[in-house]
Amino acid sequence: MAKHSVTKRFGILTAGGDCPGLNAAIRGVCRGAHDRYGMEIVGIANGFRGLIDEDTKILKPEDFSGILTRGGTILGSSRVKPFGGTTSEKEVVDSDKVSAIKETYSKLNLDCIVVLGGNGTNTTGYKLSREGLNVIGLPKTIDNDIFGTDKTFGFDSALAIGTEAIDRLHSTAQSHSRVIVIELMGHKAGWLALHAGVAGGGDVILIPEIPYDIRTIGQHLEKRAKSGKTFSIVVVAEGAISIKEAEMDKKDRKKFRMENGPSVAYRVASEINAETGMETRATVLGYVQRGGIPSATDRVLATSLGTAAVELLANGKYGRMVALTGSDIGSIDLRVPEGKVKNVPTDHYMIDTARAVGTCMGIGADV
């Protein structure tokens, strides 16, 4: 016999970029809600677009069975945002989209919407809660940059892929006595590049939180070469920025980037070549980091966060995001992560760890 639940019928969606663990989280929510509490589950297709277009279906056990190890998301995703961001003066709201979402929510007789996503998705969830909808959020992103949780599902899987890529580049760099720059994702935070760089033995790690000085990098690489080390691996977060760029305004920075390569890996490779004369190549790992099956760690985390969301549903504790703090899974108010990015603190132990093993973080003190 099913336990009593405040929530009788809820919708579930995945929004933003895909990442390993989404299906594991969907399964955790749906299995717990259906098996333990007998809740009715409405799957919403393609993120918030599904709410706008009323693209939904009732999810049965056969729909969320056998998906634990699958990559991607059975619900589909999109980056449609009913709240379009902000201008210098006020928040931009697409009132037609918001109205359509509220209408669909009411028409489907939902008690709550469970949203699985990153910063943008959970921020949208909070804004919808201010519009009168009941919302519960789950933190997913390979970037690990959601404020209020120690770890997001998707990060561990992407870390393993990034580390393997660095491992594989070592042999090519060594064979050809080259400097190879590898660019990892991470948006505006350096968690992925920092962890993969340490795990893969990167000789230089560049993250957005520490603007780099190309002269410092050049000196470090030349010092390695003089000591007989004929190759180097430079790990760069996609949001990494030079001291020179940091001093530019937004318009000049955009112009500089358009004129100096398609992404930061190519800019850094060009700068290293100009600074040192060393043969340098760039590799952008790209979407490979987001694909494939989730790691065991991500399966466990996603499942645990999913089942924790079920308890919030059952007890009618809406307007919250499930979160990992230390070794405990609990929840925080959805307004906590709104519009924030969890950056790597410049005094984080991982930065000191990198430096202690001789890794250059791109600034003068590293030489």
List residues with catalytic annotation.
143
d(CA 231, CA 179): 6
Lookup: tokens for 220: 């470090």
Residue with tokens 């969907």: 26
Distance CA(19)–CA(53), nearest Å, equals 24
Closest CA to 195 of 181, 209, 184: 184
Give the whole-angstrom CA distance, residue 299 versus residue 102: 32
The neighbouring-strand residues paired with 180 are: 233, 281
**Please, which residues bridge with residue 315 across strands?**
none
Cβ neighbour number for residue 331 with a 10 Å cutoff: 22
What 269-273 contacts at long range (C-beta under 8 Å, 24+ apart), as own/partner pairs, is: 269/179, 269/181, 271/214, 271/217, 271/242, 272/179, 272/181, 272/214, 272/217, 272/218, 272/221, 272/234
Q: Which residues pair with 164 in a beta bridge?
A: none
Q: Spell out the alpha helix ranges (H) of the chain.
A: 22-31, 37, 48-53, 95-107, 119-130, 155-176, 191-199, 214-226, 243-246, 250-259, 264-276, 296-314, 349-356
